Chain A
Amino acid sequence: MEHSRVHNTNNNGRGGQPRLVLEVEDLYVSFGGYRGRTRAVNGVSFQIHQGEILGIVGESGCGKSVTALSLLKLVPMPPGRIDGGTISLHTDDTTVDVTALAQDSREIRAIRGRQISMIFQEPMRSLHPMFSIGDQIVEILLQHFAMNRRQALDKAVALLERVGLPEPARVVHEFPHQLSGGMRQRVMIAIALACEPQLLVADEPTTALDVTIQAQILELLQALQAEMGLAVMLITHDMGVVAEIADRVIVMYLGEIVETASVDQLFTNPQHPYTQGLLRSIPNWTDQPKTPLHSLAGAVPELLDLPAGCVFVERCPFADKVPGLRKPSLIETEPGHFVKCWLYTEEFVHARP
């Protein structure tokens, strides 16, 4: 990491477009169950560039995590199944379609932890309870690099220091249950970044942590990202987290992308009624005291019960003014700002408030 290989060789020069790391096109993922197949991800497309933090927000069950797991082909199959689409990972010299790789194949395993890493929601349970911290970092290093145990252990200590753990030489011999939640998440980050991947997928990395620890972990992620020129895909349901560190945001609802924009665009000009609802439900200290907190009407329908047309039709305040039973397509309303809503077509502009 000292020589920041990724940073130097892969940025196509100053001012040029950052290098494309990952491209997801029209991804469909479903799960089989005794009541029929559940469509968890429905035609999702997006790109992630080097040095970028992409936030993915949405309520639980909207397909964020399944999308993330698909990138590493970690969706349990069966019952899961990728029904269509491609996930193209661009490395220095080649492009690989992850969806085409078998789940336990050598090819996908060479990507996991080496090109794309992932950290999970519950640091308490994401580390193996019976292996020492050192062993868990050493394991991923030995998996991908030709080095001996001694070198790997030294590197593990360096990594622990890098993620801000005090006394790394001692921590390396400790076990997860001896560390606090925040420290464990730092260890997870050390594991994930041990092999200097291009992309880090962080699935609700701060949800299970205290608020003060949350801020520290986010700062750490931001610092490491800048330092290593890493691409980060940050999955969260917390608009505050997105506002704090993301560059670009994707809003998902029921397995579909309903809006995508830069973080500034999204917060100054939220367009999809769902995004608007989400933003309005954040408490604001400038509000009058005792203003009731806004909450979205209704609940997320079950994925088995997907509406046929627009996914948001059942909870949309404008549903009676648009043909909600037909599916709208993603429309670019300003440069880089896309929304999937009838209200932004010329035909239904008049229905907007």
Chain B
Amino acid sequence: MGRAVLRRSVQMVITLWLVSILGFVIIQLPPGDFLTLLESQLEEQRLSSAQIESALTGLRARYGLDQPVYVQYLRWMSSLLRGDLGYSMALRADVNELLSERLVLTLVISFAAMVFSLALALPIGVYSAMKQYSWADYLFTVLGFLGLALPNMLLALILIFLAVTVFNASTIGGLFSPEYITADWSPAKVLDLAKHLWLPAFIVGFSSTAGTIRVVRAQMLDTLGEPFIQTARMKGLSENRVITRHALRVALNPVVSGLGLSLPGLISGETITALVLGLPTIGPLLLNALFAEDMYLAGSILVILSGALVVGNFLADLTLAWLDPRIRLVEP
């Protein structure tokens, strides 16, 4: 097992490195020089030429813009690894400050969506499999197809639409009650967040819930047809025990390994949902960075998000190996 973990860790580090390179390529993609653009922007803001010059020199030194590309990459990477993202001229804010809270909220929402979708999909999937072809099974199948066809963005729009046309609401979404938006973190604020979390979690988790129901149902049906289930029944175990201890254990495997793979979709869905609902998470920040043409910030955000995903995937794989002796014990 130890060697397998080591192998997988090395693989993860290589993937992370490739991710950072791709992120850097994206930073370099837009035509034109980042600094010239910034200069003209700063001029519009009526800063003195000395101020502009010092800001530009600072940036040049920071990103090594007057040096070869690989030096630029190394500087950017080292600052990223040190967790120091500097000051965004374009957004005129300290990036660390901007990013940390939003990143945490993004992960909280995505994680809540995942928990929400599992909590819903597991029992429904199992029930659908046990009562195959019942009316409830058909109902969930239809819901599942809807989930496929209604990605987060459309779902968010429809919910807004319903809120204003049916419920006459004037606002929807948000993560905090007005009095907590600017407040410092406190237990009361966390509680307030928890109260507001369900809607974004529902929207982000909806399509993956639908997908997970389908996977769980199919897996349960496959597993229930396996001879080892007959063996379990033959032993005199109760049907409850056969399902929970014998069938679920096997049926859940692909679901767990699918969790890692569903993460990019969840984060992706969170960004767009945040944009539609105006949530204070990474999505709007990324869009602002792009509109302000601060490619360094945009690239860093992308790499941080993807890095979180790669690590998440790694953890999902470890969980799977821990759950399944067939993987745990076979050294590839």
Contact = CB atoms under 8 A, between A and B. Distances in A.
Interface of A: 72, 74, 103-104, 109-114, 117-118, 120-122, 125-130, 132, 139-140, 143-144, 175, 177-178, 188, 191-192
Interface string B225-260: 011101111111111000000100110000000000
Interface of B: 226-228, 230-239, 246, 249-250, 323-326, 329-330
Given A112-B234, A125-B226, A140-B235, 9 more contacts: A111-B236, A112-B235, A113-B234, A120-B231, A126-B227, A128-B246, A130-B250, A130-B324, A143-B235
Nearest to A136: B231
A104 B238 contact: yes
Contacts of B325: 129-130, 132, 175, 177
What 4 A-B pairs come out closest when comparing CB atoms? A112-B236, A140-B235, A113-B236, A109-B236
Contacts of B323: 130
A129 B236 contact: no
A120 B325 CA distance: 23
A139 B232 CA distance: 9
In this complex, which of B228, B238, B250, B324 has the most chain A Cβ atoms within 10 angstroms of its Cβ?
B228
Contacts of A118: 230, 234
Given A125-B227, A130-B324, A143 B237 contact: yes
A212 B230 CA distance: 27
Contact of A120 (B230, B238, B329): B230
B4 to A, nearest CB: 16
30 contacts: A72-B233, A74-B230, A74-B233, A109-B236, A109-B238, A112-B234, A113-B235, A113-B236, A114-B236, A118-B234, A120-B231, A125-B226, A126-B230, A126-B231, A127-B231, A129-B228, A129-B325, A130-B250, A130-B324, A130-B325, A132-B325, A139-B235, A139-B237, A140-B236, A143-B235, A175-B325, A175-B329, A177-B326, A178-B329, A191-B235
A178 B237 CA distance: 25
Nearest to A114: B236
Contact of B326 (A103, A113, A114, A129): A129
A144 B236 contact: yes
B232 A128 contact: yes
A12 B324 CA distance: 50
A109 B231 CA distance: 13
Nearest to B224: A76
B234 A117 contact: yes
Contacts of A121: 227
Task: Count chain B CB atoms within 10 A of each CB in A109, A111, A121, A177 and give the residue with the most.
Answer: A109
Contacts of A143: 235-237
A113 B230 CA distance: 11
Contacts of B249: 128, 130
B234 A128 contact: no
B234 A74 contact: yes
Nearest to A139: B235
B49 to A, nearest CB: 70
B239 A104 contact: yes
A289 B323 CA distance: 57
Contacts of A112: 233-236
Contacts of B239: 103-104
Contacts of A139: 235, 237
Contacts of A120: 227, 230-231
A114 B237 CA distance: 11
Contact of A127 (B228, B233, B236, B329): B228
Contacts of A129: 228, 250, 325-326
A121 B325 CA distance: 24
Contacts of B233: 72, 74, 112
Contacts of A125: 226-228
A112 B236 CA distance: 5
A230 to B, nearest CB: 16
A118 B250 CA distance: 22
A114 B250 CA distance: 26
Contacts of A175: 325-326, 329
A178 B10 CA distance: 28
A125 B228 CA distance: 6
Contacts of A177: 325-326, 330
A128 B250 contact: yes
B98 to A, nearest CB: 46
A110 B237 CA distance: 9
A191 B325 CA distance: 20
A304 B98 CA distance: 71
Contact of B236 (A110, A122, A130, A178): A110
Contacts of B227: 120-122, 125-126
A193 to B, nearest CB: 12
A120, A121, A128, A144: residue with the most chain B Cβ atoms closer than 10 Å: A128
Contacts of B330: 177
A122 B325 CA distance: 20
A127 B231 CA distance: 7
A118 B239 CA distance: 17
A197 to B, nearest CB: 10
Nearest to A128: B228
Contact of A126 (B228, B238, B326): B228
A113 to B, nearest CB: 4
Nearest to B233: A74
Most buried by A among B228, B236, B239, B323: B236
Nearest to B330: A177
Contact of A188 (B231, B237, B238, B326): B231
Nearest to A109: B236
B238 to A, nearest CB: 6
A109 B235 CA distance: 8
A165 to B, nearest CB: 18
B232 to A, nearest CB: 7
